[in-house]
Amino acid sequence: MTNTLNEALKAKERERVQSADETIHLDDVSRVKVLSPGQQVFKRFVRNRLAVFGTGLLILMFVFSFIGPLFYAYGQKQIFYKYSTQNVNYALAKTNTAYNGYVVNSEVELSRKVVNAMNSNIKSMIASEEELRCVFDGEEAYLIRKLGHEVYTLSRAELTPICTTGKAVVRIGTYSMLSKSVAYAEADAEEIPGLDAAAAKNCKGKNGSFELDGISYTFEMGKAKSFDLYTEREGFVYTASSPGEGFEEAVERAVGTSGFSYNGKQYFLSENGKTAAVYEFLGEEVGRVYSLLTLDTYTTGETISDDFRPAALMAAYGSGSFTANGAAYTVLPEENGALAVFDADGKEFAEFTDFTVRRYTGEDTMDYDLKNAIMDEILSMLSEGKRTGKLTYPLPMQNETGSYVYDDSGALQYNDAELTITQRDTGEFVINCEQIIYVINMYEAPSSRHILGTDGDGFDVLARIMYGGRISLMVGFVVVFLEILLGIIMGGLAGYYGKWVDNLIMRLVDIFYCLPSMPIMIILGAMMDALRMNTYIRLIIMMAALGLMGWAGVARLVRGQILSLREQEFMVATEATGIKVRSRIFRHLVPNVMPQLIVTATMGMGSVIIMESTLSFLGLGVKHPLATWGTIINSVSSASAMAHYAFIWIPVGLLICLTVIAFNFVGDGLRDAYDPKSKR
Amino acid sequence: MFKYTVKRLLYSAIILFFVMFIIYALMYNMPMSFVETKARELASRPGATKSYAEWLADLNAQYGMDRGVVGGYFIWIGNAVRGNWGDSWAWTIPVTQVFKNTVWYSFALSMVSYVFEILIAIPLGITAAKKQYSFADYFTTVFSMICISMPTFFLATLLKYVFSVKLGWFDLSGMQGRNYMNLSDFGKFLDVAKHFVLPSITLIIINIGGLMRYTRTNMLEVLNADYIRTARAKGVPEKKVINVHAFRNTLIPLITTLGGMLPGLFSGALITESLFAIRGIGYASYTSMTQADIPFIMFYLSFISILTLLGNLISDLLYGAVDPRVRLS
């Protein structure tokens, strides 16, 4: 069965071959392969290796720019971030130097001036080893009392004036011009000899002074032709009754200090220049307690109420026990000056020390043990005389986003972190460690994730190049299309009509030929910069301007061709058949210029791409966030970026070069193919 | 010849008139806020002696902004013809002074590149044409194509990267080295010359491609001419055919082109000078353009247009002078 079928097929084939031999003869027309003009051009074009190379390159470029983005994972405006470890200032440790005030009794009014001066007052008390000081603000008196190591109280004191001492201006009496004698102010005052006569002689005018027996007197006009007489006297002037004998000696001994005690009573001195006022102390009300010490609780994150600290500080050198937050605590001074606070069960609850360790940003609290570890390290640093130190301690673990990691039960996870401690010149200690932060992925070197790396804005360079290629190529096409369109219309009209139309258009061509296009484009760019124009509008304006300035060459070419074609027979024929002028120009003349136009267009594409990328490189063309090849290079045009990020600009620059070369090769090849004898 | 020259000059003057009008119109139609901004800036400069309103009125009057585009243009061109180009805004000195300060640097740079272009491009182009389709020919073709296709800024950046960053032979930009002031006069000259090396190379590479192709094409055309075939048929030695018969005829288009390029040597290289910070007229005008320094821009653009027209004229005149077959009329 199969055999017979095969036989039959073979026979049929033999028959077919024989009949074919018979039909084609040597002189048969179909034996001569006739190529259409288009095919001839194509054949010549294909023979040119450089042109074929250029075509291949162009196809590649178009696929890369227009189809590439469809398959590429990243967009042109997609910003990439990364998690990066950064050495941050984690904590700050320092010996406290400023006294902090805690309000003990908010009902006690304290002068702002005194509160502000507390730090300097306490320091000067420490310097002069005073335990108690009285400070005055106007009429008000305040007491600063040392309770214990680094703990002071500020209280409002109740005082009563006793006397003044030292040189004081005393009113002697009133001199009356009517009685011509001095009425003494004090009833038991001794009469001053000659004062009446001296006063009568000198008391003129509103005020003045005179001298008598070496003592100077001042007078001031009072009412009813009388003068008040004053003189400066040394000694005690009592405003209250004298406390007793020996008091004045005690006051004189105490001058220069803040106070003294006499007869079991406390007195204070308010010195003002040469005089001192002496006050008796009646009582005080504690308003605030001041201390260098800061509180650290043993349990991290324990909330402490506002009244805990003052209560503890007040109790430390007093009763030793206090209640705060409804719980009872005891507080004990330690040898090194710290205060230990125990709760009701006798367990250590918190500690007051003059050395603080806190988070640098103050954003959260630190572990007590970590603080202790840092403190120990700093102590050992100090004892060794070093300014830097290191320790490893488990810190709360961070995930990639920089937030803390908790396990299933909600407990913080820790990992060992390297902490470095550095002493600053100011004496503070800074604790640094590596922490994870989220940053824009700038200038990443090429990797498998970003084949050409990322640029300064965190964009993927390859994606930018693809989208940039779209715009660069599109600008080339649009501009060249505009040039050709304008050129064909103007050149066609000039060539066909001749005479004055030709003259007019050709003068226009001359003018446009002479316009310096690069400077004008730069000026346009600067103008659009000044107007802060949208980048898409800029793109359109730029393309229009480039097209408008480039048509002159095309018009010249079209006109020249049409001038010679116009005289040929087929044009006479079109005239004879009465074809419309418009179609005579654009359907019969212009198509004959097409080969040259195509060549011009192809070559022009390259120069437009160069022009556009140059403008964008100068920052005067298309702007960020739109990408073009020029803008990408512009983004790394500064000297340092250029030197360090060659992986960004070299591929882009090569791409521009290759594209332009490809256009030129193709244009060259096309010209050779259309007209092998043409002049290049 | 004389009549032709005069005619062409008049004709160029008319073209220039309209070119300048277009540029003036462009400047005139800059958003008004632009002049206002300028006035505000000038008024708020340290040591400004005029208020904002005064500056605005002054600027408007100075550039005829209050007279409409045509009237203003006539005022401007009237001043310009009398040599009164105004003061540059960006440089705060007379425009002509800026020109005098900068143009010779540009000229030096362009002249050096011009000479080297000729010395390199013409022999290469002729060699390529002599042996068409040889390796030398393909090399020249591809090389010239690469030169033509190279964007100036990329080439300049590439040269900077290789020679300044990687090899450290030259400074990245600028015209003088660090201890320029301590050098002797000859040392100063050498220092500036060293800074001109990279810009010159850039200019040479950018311009050489076109000239090379032009030489090659013209030489090829001449070599295919009938009189060359005749010379060879007569048995003239090949050396003489090439160097005398062919080369001299190739020179005709070359000389006209090169002659036409001469005025352009003064126009400055805008991009190259800006990238290498050479204080030539191109750099000055680029700075002015980005700062909307209208007086200087107008001056520079007129200058460039004049140079272009002059170049065309020289080219045409040379054509008539060199080629006896051409009659100018």
**Following DSSP, what letter does each residue of B204-244 receive, concatenated?**
HHHHHHHHHHHHHHHHHHHHTSHHHHHHHHHT--HHHIIII
The separation between the first and the last C-alpha atoms of chain B, rounded to the nearest angstrom, is: 7
In the numeric block, which tokens belong to residue A188? 């038991």
Residues 133-192 of B with CB under 8 A from A: 141-142, 145-146, 148-154, 157-158, 160-161, 165, 172-173
The span from the CA of B193 to the CA of B199, in Å, is 10
Model confidence at B68: pLDDT above 90: no
Min distance A669 CA to chain B CA atoms (Å): 12
The span from the CA of A568 to the CA of A564, in Å, is 7
CB atoms within 10 A of CB A116: 10
With an 8 Å Cβ cutoff, is A504 touching chain B?
A: no
pLDDT band at A56 (very low <50, low <70, confident <90, very high): very high
Q: Which of A602, A627, A633 is nearest to A58 (CA)?
A: A602
With an 8 Å Cβ cutoff, is A650 touching chain B?
A: yes
Tens digits of per-residue pLDDT, A32-55? Answer: 677 787 888 888 888 888 889 999
Domain boundaries, chain A: 1-34, 89-96+292-440, 108-288, 461-679
Min distance A513 CA to chain B CA atoms (Å): 9
Write the residue in B161, B274, B297 that is nearest to A642 by C-beta. Answer: B161
The separation between the first and the last C-alpha atoms of chain A, rounded to the nearest angstrom, is: 70
A399 and A405 in contact (C-beta within 8 Å)? Answer: yes
Q: Which residue of A has its CA nearest to B20?
A: A515
Q: Do A527 and B31 touch (CB under 8 A)?
A: yes
Q: Which residue of B has its CA nearest to A633?
A: B154
Q: Do B142 and A50 touch (CB under 8 A)?
A: yes
Min distance B107 CA to chain A CA atoms (Å): 18
Largest CA distance in chain B: 84
Residues 274-293 of B with CB under 8 A from A: 274, 285-286, 289-292
The span from the CA of A673 to the CA of A42, in Å, is 7
pLDDT attached to residue B202 = 92
> Which residues have CB under 8 Å from B101's CB, separation 6+?
B279, B284
Residues 33-92 of A with CB under 8 A from B: 50
Phi/psi at A358 (nearest 5 deg)?
A: -140, 165
Q: Do A664 and B308 touch (CB under 8 A)?
A: no
Min distance B290 CA to chain A CA atoms (Å): 5
Tens digits of per-residue pLDDT, B117-160? Answer: 999 999 988 888 888 888 888 888 889 988 988 888 899 989 98
CATH number of A461-679: 1.10.3720.10
With an 8 Å Cβ cutoff, is A553 touching chain B?
A: no
The span from the CA of A69 to the CA of A507, in Å, is 46
A93 and A375 in contact (C-beta within 8 Å)? Answer: yes
pLDDT band at A139 (very low <50, low <70, confident <90, very high): confident
DSSP string, A474-509: HHHHHHHHHHHHHHHHHHHHHHHH-HHHHHHHHHHH
Q: Which residue of B has its CA nearest to A53?
A: B142
Tens digits of per-residue pLDDT, B243-276? Answer: 888 888 888 888 888 888 888 888 888 888 888 8
Min distance A416 CA to chain B CA atoms (Å): 42
With an 8 Å Cβ cutoff, is A253 touching chain B?
A: no
Rounded to an integer, what is the distance from CA A439 to the centroid of its chain?
Answer: 13
CA distances (Å), origin A84, targets A364, A401, A453: 22, 10, 17
**Plot region of B326 (φ>0 → left; ψ -120 to 50 → alpha; else → beta):** beta
Q: Do A660 and B149 touch (CB under 8 A)?
A: yes
User: What is the overall mean pLDDT for chain A?
Assistant: 81
With an 8 Å Cβ cutoff, is A646 touching chain B?
A: yes
Write the residue in A519, A661, A664 that is nearest to B289 by C-beta. Answer: A519
- Taking one residue from A and the other from B, the number of pairs with CB-CB distance under 8 angstroms is 125
The span from the CA of A65 to the CA of A85, in Å, is 36
**Percent of chain A with pLDDT strictly greater than 90:** 5
> Which residues have CB under 8 Å from B183's CB, separation 6+?
B190, B191
A297 and A329 in contact (C-beta within 8 Å)? Answer: no
Min distance A635 CA to chain B CA atoms (Å): 13
Q: Do A526 and B297 touch (CB under 8 A)?
A: no
pLDDT attached to residue B119 = 93
Identity of residue A336: N
Tens digits of per-residue pLDDT, A264-310? Answer: 777 877 776 667 778 888 888 888 888 888 887 777 666 777 788 88
Write the residue in A516, A518, A610 that is nearest to B151 by C-beta. Answer: A610
Min distance B47 CA to chain A CA atoms (Å): 25
What's the average model confidence in pLDDT over A103-128? 84
The span from the CA of A630 to the CA of A538, in Å, is 15
In the numeric block, which tokens belong to residue A349? 């609850």
**Percent of chain B with pLDDT strictly greater than 90:** 9
pLDDT attached to residue A680 = 44
Residues of B within 8 A of A511 (CB-CB) are: 15, 18-19, 22
The span from the CA of A435 to the CA of A84, in Å, is 8
pTM: 0.69
